[in-house]
Amino acid sequence: MRLSRYFLPVLRDVPKEAEIASHRLMLRAGMIRQQASGLYSWLPLGYKVLMKVKAIIEEEQNRSGAIELLMPTIQSADLWRESGRYDAYGKEMLRIEDRNEREFLYGPTNEEVITDIFRTYVKSYKDLPLNLYHIQWKFRDELRPRFGTMRSREFLMKDAYSFDLDKDAAVKAYERMFVAYLRTYARMGLTAIPMRADTGPIGGDLSHEFIILADTGESAVFCHRDLLEKPIPSKDTDFRGDLKPIVDDWTSLYAATEEMVDEAAYEAAVPEDKRVSARGIEVGHIFYFGTKYSEPMKATVTGQDGKETTVHMGSYGVGLTRVVPAIIEAFHDDAGIVWPVSVAPFEAVLINLKAGDAECDAACDKLYGELSAAGLDMLYDDRDQPAGSKFATADLVGIPYQIILGPRGLKAGEAEIKHRKSGERETLPIADAVARLK
Ligand code: ATP
Ligand code: MG
Ligand code: MG
Ligand code: MG
């Protein structure tokens, strides 16, 4: 992508409404634009990151055996009356009436809709286990939208729903999601710790929140330090096999959010030098809630014995539009964002130090073509701008590698590569740049 033809509205000044680093940086780097309280447009650079996050989530959901579909954002109030949640949900729900005075709502979550789909089509135990997910916009009329897309009113969520014949099978589905979540956040460079959590309005009795430690986090959390170093289950994990040992291993160390913590139990379970009492960001939440929705909504299958059995369900959410600022909270410095390569909007930026100079343009154009052809997702700063401003932009938007080429390097046949994270610089023959970055 040539920067001269791109849409990257970088801001020079720090917007004063932004209280935390990720919100400031997302505005400065031209990633988002607030349209109204808690409602954001995702500008091209931000949208690219969001789509990289989405692709990782999809890969890991699919690997675990979950199946993607898409449900609408607008839902019928009648379905929510069936589950009994329409009145209970309260003011966070945005209620809508159509021209025929029929009642609808903008979905804050999808248990009712997915249960309706399930009961329509699935009739036999032979079709279980089943886990269906989608990645769709949600709306919750938050009392206090803040920190940019960290707590917005409209936000993008991945929500998966599992259906099983009984509790044992449902717990296995829960374990598959537990492991998939560990892998998902790790691939984004994040250390997300599963912590025992309250189930809130979703209901149920088994639940973990996945928490990123950050001083700006909204919840107080308590855990064993060793959880921060625990190796993540590998890509070859057999999701059809027994995952209980992995989940038991992770949950054997104390970790709980403020709603669930028991001070005495925490102190008894964790030696003093291993205690982490910190702030955290909830980037995901998984629940097993049994027959809470399947019972009132009559989601049943015929069991092996020929009897009608109410299915056991779980739901599993990840807030994509919260994960993006959470990554920035974890990875930034004074100059800007420092993206992990897996979610970086571009893998590398080629900086032409003397745009307008025929020789320099020709060499940079050629290198840009070669890097792109090698499969690198490239940004090419071909603008006629002072070098200092180009470096500042490249640092601010956080692209992992900067390839710098100007007339002096060209004469020597050399380019420079700067690693955004370490600040380390290396000089190498221009001809070696592609091989070095591939
Ligand atoms: P919170 O405690 O932050 O209000 P929640 O517990 O209400 O979140 P869940 O119902 O568990 O949220 O939804 C699943 C995930 O959706 C959360 O773990 C979070 O990552 C994301 N999420 C929830 N509310 C918001 C929001 N207002 N803005 C952005 N992401 C959100
Ligand atoms: Mg909430
Ligand atoms: Mg919560
Ligand atoms: Mg939650």
The pLDDT score that the predictor gives to residue 8 is 98
Cβ neighbors of 309 (< 8 A, separation 6 or more) are 125, 165, 166, 300, 301, 302, 303
The pLDDT score that the predictor gives to residue 203 is 62
Three-class secondary structure of residue 109 per DSSP: coil
Does any ligand 1 atom lie closer than 6 A to the CB of residue 151? Answer: yes
Phi, psi at 296, each rounded to 5°: -65, -30
Does any ligand 1 atom lie closer than 6 A to the CB of residue 201? Answer: no
Which residues are found with C-beta within 5 Å of the ion, ligand 3?
282
Residue ranges of the chain whose pLDDT lies below 70: 200-205
Cβ neighbors of 403 (< 8 A, separation 6 or more) are 348, 349, 350, 351, 367, 371, 415, 416, 417, 433, 437
Three-class secondary structure of residue 208 per DSSP: strand
Helix segments in 308-406, DSSP class H: 320-330, 358-373, 387-397
Does any ligand 1 atom lie closer than 6 A to the CB of residue 283? Answer: yes
Per-residue tokens: 89: 């949900």
How far apart CA 8 and CA 5 sit, in angstroms, is 9
Three-class secondary structure of residue 168 per DSSP: helix
Most ligand 1 atoms within 8 A of CB, residue of 53, 136, 137, 157 to mutate:
157
Distance 307 CA to ligand 1 centre (A): 38
Give the closest ligand to the alpha carbon of residue 37. Answer: 1
Question: Residues 324, 50: contact at Cβ < 8 Å?
Answer: yes
Q: Which atom of ligand 1 is nearest to the CA of 200?
A: 6
The pLDDT score that the predictor gives to residue 14 is 81
DSSP H or E stretch at residue 172: helix 167-187
DSSP state of 114: H
Does any ligand 1 atom lie closer than 6 A to the CB of residue 316? Answer: no
Helix segments in 198-258, DSSP class H: 244-251
The pLDDT score that the predictor gives to residue 198 is 77
Nearest CA to ligand 1 atom 23: 319
Q: Which atom of ligand 1 is nearest to the CA of 323?
A: 20
Amino acid in the structure at residue 2: R
Nearest CA to ligand 1 atom 12: 285
> Closest by alpha carbon to 423, among 389, 398, 387?
398
Q: Hey, which residues does 350 pair with through a beta bridge?
A: 380, 403
Distance 102 CA to ligand 2 centre (A): 27
Q: Which atom of ligand 1 is nearest to the CA of 209?
A: 18
Does any ligand 1 atom lie closer than 6 A to the CB of residue 84? Answer: no
The pLDDT score that the predictor gives to residue 201 is 66
DSSP state of 391: H
* Predicted TM-score (pTM) of this structure: 0.97
Question: Residues 309, 165: contact at Cβ < 8 Å?
Answer: yes
Nearest CA to ligand 1 atom 28: 151
First-to-last C-alpha distance (Å) of the chain: 17
DSSP state of 395: H
Distance 77 CA to ligand 1 centre (A): 22
